[in-house]
Amino acid sequence: GAVVSQHPSRVICKSGTSVKIECRSLDFQATTMFWYRQFPKQSLMLMATSNEGSKATYEQGVEKDKFLINHASLTLSTLTVTSAHPEDSSFYICSARVWQSNTEAFFGQGTRLTVV
């Protein structure tokens, strides 16, 4: 089956620093990837849609300048949390849609971000 790898699985950073999270499709090409955020004891909320070679589309209420998304190749999308603050602490998870396929999007393992 299609595998999506997300790295790192856990990261702790100091307030004010930036953190980059990678989402890779290991055995398929993904023209579109999705980034979700899950606060403790809450559901997953879509943050943005990442399209290879173009700008990401952000959901309402998500700050573009704070959550930088880059999708430079068909197998890699990155989410950079800039100037992180404790309220950015959350579980971030990506999914990747198989190019030209009618199957579901496949999820990565998620990244637990803790900002101290």
Partner 1 sequence: AQSVTQPDIHITVSEGASLELRCNYSYGATPYLFWYVQSPGQGLQLLLKYFSGDTLVQGIKGFEAEFKRSQSSFNLRKPSVHWSDAAEYFCAVGAGGTSYGKLTFGQGTILTVHP
- String of contacts with partner 1 for each residue 59-88, x by CB under 8 A: ------------------------------
Stretch that binds partner 1, among 12-20, 63-71, 76-84, 104-112 (CB under 8 A): 104-112
Q: Find the angle CA(31)-CA(89)-CA(49) to the nearest 5 degrees.
A: 20
Task: List the interface residues with partner 1, window 9-48 (CB under 8 A).
Answer: 32, 34, 42-46
Q: Is 58 in the site for partner 1 (CB under 8 A)?
A: no
How far is residue 90's CA from residue 38's CA, in Å, rounded to a whole number?
Answer: 6
Stretch that binds partner 1, among 21-29, 64-72, 81-89, 91-99 (CB under 8 A): 91-99
